[in-house]
Amino acid sequence: MDSVNSYNTPVELSSGSFFDEGIKIGDVRVLPMDALIGGLYIVYVGYYIKKFIDSFRDDQTTVTTTVHRMPTLRERVIQRIIYTAQALSASMLFFDWGINKGWFTLECVARTTLKVIAHSTSVLFWGYKCIESIYHLIELPKLIEKSSKYHVYEKADLEPEIVAEWITLFSNFAFVLASGLQVLSVITGVVIAAGSIEFLVMSSMALMVARIVFDILFGSHEKVVAARLMFEDKPPGYTQLR
């Protein structure tokens, strides 16, 4: 292509292997793996935006066969704050990752501020999720024994959730390490290999996908939630059949 319309962004397909050299859009060359990670970041942002929107769409009239806990107003407000914070944090993480790839440009001070805020928020959130997973791993064996004792569920119905929680824990911890290394790099000035951080991010995302597949195959998560509600002494919300 000798000329490009001034209103269009030139796109250049590499003469070599697409998987080796990718595609050039304007002045930016996008490798397939970069496009995959960038797409996952965008999905991550969209997921929390959807969660925020869905928090206003609670259906209190549907009745089916499992126990469902209705969150209190206070819990819903907290959830919406968390979803909003995560969507903003994920957006900043995507933008910071895009800067590292040369997709976007930003002044040094603004870039440093963006990096510190985005990754500090990420460390706090995913660190909290790690603690939550550890608590679940401690609690699950007791819950499984109690459910089996009172014939609520068989052990085989709930035990896959232990594996799922381990997957979640490693996924969250990989994110904590990746963001922690980024913050440490800014504070200490020590250069950390971008490949190492990218490996951690990719590993975390792969584990997230594995968790989703695991839930689809075994469906233990819904049963564990129902079992928890059945044995709660003083649930903070109320329950209904759903």
pLDDT digits (tens), the chain, 242 positions: 444 444 444 444 444 555 556 666 656 566 666 666 666 667 767 766 776 777 676 554 444 445 555 667 787 887 788 778 777 877 887 787 777 777 777 777 887 888 888 888 888 888 888 999 999 999 999 999 998 888 888 888 999 999 999 999 999 999 899 989 988 888 888 888 878 888 888 888 888 888 888 888 888 888 888 888 777 654 444 444 44
Q: What is the pTM of this model?
A: 0.66
pLDDT of res. 163 = 94
Helices marked H in 103-154 — which ranges? 108-149
Cα 210-216-220 angle, rounded to 5 deg: 100
Tokens of residue 164, six digits: 């799922």
Q: Is 219 helix (H, G, I), strand (E, B) or coil?
A: coil
